[in-house]
Structure 1
Amino acid sequence: MTQDLRDQLQDGLAGAYTLENELSGGGMSRVFIAADTSLGRKVVVKVLRPDLAETLSVERFRREIQLAARLQHPHIVPLLAAGVLDSGALYYTMPFVDGESLRDRLDRDGELPVSDATQLLRDVASALDYAHRQLVVHRDIKP
């Protein structure tokens, strides 16, 4: 991500959020941790790469936003807000969930205790069942 896009994103957030650092990036988007200036909490801001804003990726990203907004479940991180930058790039915000990934925990500790694994699988299955009943298929579940 170029500094220009970071600046565009910060300007487009109109003081509501202050970008802190880039968390990750993929083929379609970049993800930042930001501070919510009015509520004092950390959020994640996911922004569509501007070079993709003129392609079919815009519709895919819009669908991602609309689907995320529909899902209300205790084990699915909710969408907080969404918008469009002056450059045409789409973005949305979600609460920042602090913690380690399952992959990191498995790498660190090896196998999980049976009770932890069972509870985790129940929680994930509950969220996926709910999403599927809403006609949403995730297609990118990973530890």
Structure 2
Amino acid sequence: MAGHGYSREFVELQTAVAGKYTLERELGRGGMGIVFLARDVGLDRPVALKLLPPYLAAQSGFKDRFLSEARLAARLSHPNIVTIHAVEEHDDLVFFVMAYIRGETLTQRVERTGPLSAPQATRLLQEVAWGLGYAHANGVIHRDVKPDNILIEQASGRAMVAD
């Protein structure tokens, strides 16, 4: 941990995006990235920043593939897909900025409430299928559909595909 309990990635990313975004806290991390809650300074709204781990960004071809796939996904506009606002690169840091969805992952929902009822599962899976169908029709293949990458929006209960 770097000073004040912040991770090295948090400090490096905050330094790179200062004036544009203000990082608030880490939301989660996995093999393909670290997600931070941030505030878009210019638009005064919450966003999520997903940082490609530096060790992956340093691998030959990986960074270019990540940027290309993120830019392609950023063209998608669908109510069941988390919107990507920007794809950025600052020195060795590669990240994208997406809508912040207030809610929980499907994994968290099941852990919190137990198994979904048949009608709940049917509705959520239908919404995920609509989002994935739209993505596929536009040349984007997700490659990592799993409960951790399905967000359930708190206000509406709508399922949204992330990552």
**TM-score (norm. length: structure 2):** 0.76
CA spacing shift, 1:17–1:142, aligned 2, 3 Å = same
| CA displacement 1:62-118 (0-9 Å, x = unmatched) | 1231122121111001111121112x3211100111112222222232232333222
Q: Is 1:136 the counterpart of 2:158 in the alignment?
A: no
Number of residues paired by the alignment? 142
Alpha-carbon RMSD: 2.0
How far apart are 1:38 and its partner, in Å? Answer: 2.7
% of aligned pairs identical? 45
Distance in 1, matches of 2:105 and 2:112, equals 11
Q: Is 1:96 the counterpart of 2:116 in the alignment?
A: no
Distance in 2, matches of 1:133 and 1:6, equals 36
CA spacing shift, 1:16–1:125, aligned 2, 3 Å = same
Unmatched tracts of structure 1, length 5 or more: none
Q: Which one-letter code corresponds to 1:29 in the other structure?
A: G
**TM-score (norm. length: structure 1):** 0.85
Distance in 1, matches of 2:25 and 2:114, equals 30
Q: Do the aligned residues in 1 keep the contact of 2:71 with 2:87 (CA within 8 Å)?
A: no
Residue among 18, 26, 32 paired with 2:30: 26
Match of 1:78 in 2: 83
Q: Is 1:122 the counterpart of 2:126 in the alignment?
A: yes
Distance in 1, matches of 2:130 and 2:124, equals 10
Counterparts of 1:1-20 in structure 2 under 5 Å? 3-20=7-24
Q: Secondary structure at the match of 1:126?
A: helix
Q: Secondary structure at the match of 2:142?
A: coil
Higher strand proportion: 2
Distance in 1, matches of 2:54 and 2:110, equals 36
Unmatched tracts of structure 2, length 5 or more: 148-163
